[in-house]
A = this chain, B = another copy of it.
Amino acid sequence: MSFNTFGKLFRFTTWGESHGPALGCTVDGVPPMLDLSEADIQKYLDERKPGQSKYTTQRREPDAVKILSGVFEGKTTGTPIQLMIENVDQRSKDYGNIAETYRPGHADYTYTTKYGIRDYRGGGRSSARETAARVAAGAVARKALGEGIKIRAGMVQMGSHKIDRDRLDWDEVRKNPFFCPDPVTAEEWATELEAIRKAGSSIGAVVEVVAEGVPAGWGAPIYSKLDADLASGLMSINAAKGVEIGEGMNAACLTGEENADEMHPGPDGKPVFGANHAGGILGGISTGQPIVARFSVKPTSSILTPRKSVSSSGESIDVVTKGRHDPCVGIRAVPIAEAMMAIVLADHMMLHRAQCG
């Protein structure tokens, strides 16, 4: 119910602004007796943190996480886990006229209209820095899920340029600066994005996230469907504009014959599916196949080309964004996608256990 809380049983609440002293999250409902250290969390934060390549913002944030509660002698205790990340690089002490400017495509106008006030420094609460807290919470969720569930995401489209599915190899994801599961496409993107970056422009992307090892039976109809909770979780990521499960929007184009995931008797009594158009979810409940979700990320609105806007006093102005920005924010959305998948699954694992034993 709380605006800044996600999840039902495995729940986290994030707090903090881009240029405040710190940000973080409280992870509540975590099963006890899980091994958890700051290093377990830090490795995921390091993947998301800025400045990893020339394609991401050059803001220098170590994003060092501290566990302030809920862990004792290296194990979770079942009490709330507070994870805090201090903001270090708040370089631009001079915010120029940003306080009076509504940047197109940003949340400046909507926050100000809603609340009558906004922390304009670096986007305040609407900044994607908030997602660091999600990645931290996601690391805890992975611990709750255990080793049997493998969650992997990658960027599968940049602009109109999609990966070649025949070359898809999830092991490639950590080998290029795009988290791209297709190394050939990754090289092509490098050229393309460098041009975009130099032009002070930006480009959208699609991120795909897959969870393997999820048993059949997780999810809870009707309004806590696994796909509905994933849709909510992924759409809440900054810049997301569309969410797909399995065939996604393309399901519209299929016939019933094409879309059917036929079932066959499997060796262990469980059915084996002939296809996975459903993305691993039927009726809101997992089928035992991989859970497959995708979401689009819009191009960042921070570009060099002047765009028309209005000031807070209602004057027409030109907005030009100089400085440190991601030409393709889809890249850094990859670790966030994994985190949100892990969190949704951990929540549903617990919900299922609660009701069905």
Report the separation of the CA atoms of residues A220 and B31 in the bound assembly, to the nearest whole angstrom.
12
Main SS of chain A's interface residues?
Answer: mixed
A104 in contact (CB, < 8 A): yes
Q: Flag if B253 contacts A204 (CB, 8 Å).
A: yes
Q: Is A153 interfacial (CB-CB < 8 Å)?
A: no
CA distance A78 to B354 in the complex (A): 12
Docked-complex contact A257 and B201, CB < 8 angstroms: yes
- Specify the chain B residue showing the minimal Cβ separation from A227: B235
Q: Are A216 and B353 in contact (CB under 8 A)?
A: no
Specify the chain B residue showing the minimal Cβ separation from A281: B110
- Asked whether A356 and B31 contact (CB < 8 A) given A68-B15, A244-B249, A260-B301, the answer is yes
- The answer to whether A42 has its CB under 8 Å from any CB of chain B is no
The answer to the question of A217 belonging to the interface, with a C-beta cut-off of 8 Å to chain B, is yes
Count of residues in A whose CB is under 8 Å from the partner chain: 154
- Of the candidates B223, B350, B352, the one whose C-beta lies within 8 Å of that of A355 is B350
Complex Cα gap A316–B250 (Å)? 29
Q: Contacts A77-B118, A82-B15, A241-B247 given: A287-B110 contact, CB under 8 Å?
A: yes
Other A-B contacts than A9-B351, A32-B117, 12 sampled, CB-CB below 8 A, are A6-B223, A105-B260, A109-B271, A109-B287, A114-B216, A114-B218, A159-B252, A206-B249, A223-B236, A232-B235, A249-B296, A251-B296
Interface contact B241-A356, CB-CB below 8 Å: no
Nearest CB of chain B from residue A197's CB, rounded to whole Å: 11
7 pairs, A vs B, C-beta closer than 8 Å: A20-B68, A72-B117, A78-B117, A78-B356, A109-B271, A125-B222, A269-B314
Q: For the complex, is A124 an interface residue (Cβ under 8 Å from B)?
A: yes
Task: Of the listed stretches A48-56, A181-189, A303-311, name the one at the interface; the rest are far from the partner chain.
Answer: A303-311
Most buried by B among A81, A220, A288: A220
Q: Does A332 contact B (CB under 8 A)?
A: no
Residues of B within 8 A of A265 (CB): 310, 314-316
Q: Which B residues are in CB contact (< 8 Å) with A96?
A: none
Q: Is the CB of B356 within 8 A of A115?
A: yes
| A251 touching B32, Cβ below 8 Å | no
Question: Is A170 an interface residue, CB under 8 A from the partner?
Answer: no
**Residues 198-239 of A contacting B (Cβ, < 8 Å):** 201-206, 216-225, 227-236
Check: A345 CB closer than 8 A to any chain B CB: no
A80/B356 contact (C-beta < 8 A), A241-B244, A252-B159, A296-B248 known = no
Given A20-B69, A125-B222, is A251 in contact with B259 using a C-beta cutoff of 8 Å?
no
CA distance A298 to B299 in the complex (A): 28
**CB–CB B354/A353 < 8 A:** yes
Stretch from A21-29, A57-65, A171-179 at the B interface:
A21-29
